[in-house]
Amino acid sequence: MRQHVNPLSRFFQLPLELPAPDCLFDDPSRPIHLDIGCARGLCLLELAALRPDRNHLGVEIRRPLVRSAQRDRDRLERLNLHYLFCNANVSLEGWMAALPHDHLQLVSIQFPDPWFKRRHRKRRVLQPSLLLAIAATLQPGRELFVQSDVLAVIEPMVALVELSGCFDRPAEDDRPWRADNPLQVPTERERYVRDLGLPAYRVLYRRNRQPLPDRQDLEIAWQRVDNPANDAFSPDG
């Protein structure tokens, strides 16, 4: 059973100053894999051992999960791994902007909380501002990976990414959904879905050389696709 928090509540709207990589990892020069909404973080715990050439950062809005994940990290001394509590849509943009050039090489958003109702669209983790911050930080060829077991969650994410024009899908990947997880290690939710014999919907993107679109234009275009009946939409409303 997933435990939701409302990311729009006042507490989660307080911006946090996140530590720089040299405060998080034993070797801050390694490229970073950022996993947004890492939950209990077991996927990253395995990935840190499988991919010691990368630093792995998991961010999660549920503080108790972060505490538990960080205890595992400390116990196993995975010094290329760290977990942070934050609201990604409030605190990540400035952190990414401060990274050295081409330091962030992979971003993943896996099985985010299913705010699938259109009236809850502002609670979804992948918002236009966050996507544009990711696109601004990733250099051409670097990757964004998204997956969910709920079509009503993954479809708006895919629509937003593709409306931005900043990402392409690898020509060799299956359409509409990639068959396998390129990270090689499943999340807790992915294991649960797999054990039930249910599908997971996955898309891998690579940053292209297109410039960032205007945020408000992207907001309006996304609204028209995701909620075409609401003609009175205001991006700031």
Q: For 194-236, what is each residue's pLDDT tens digit?
A: 999 999 999 999 999 999 999 999 999 988 887 756 544 433 3
What would you report as the CA-atom Rg of the chain, rounded to the nearest whole angstrom?
17
pLDDT digits 0-9 by tens, 123-147: 678 999 999 999 999 999 999 999 9
Can 113 be counted among the known catalytic residues? yes
What count of other Cβ atoms lies within 10 Å of the Cβ of residue 194?
A: 14
Instruction: Name all domains of the chain by residue range, CATH numbers in brackets.
Output: 30-226 (3.40.50.150)
Residues 108, 235, 153: CA angle, nearest 5 degrees: 35
Choosing from 53, 113, 180, 236, the catalytic residue is: 113
pTM: 0.89
pLDDT given for residue 15 in this prediction: 76
Q: What is the pLDDT of residues 61-110, one digit of tens each?
A: 889 999 999 999 999 999 999 999 999 999 999 999 999 999 999 999 99
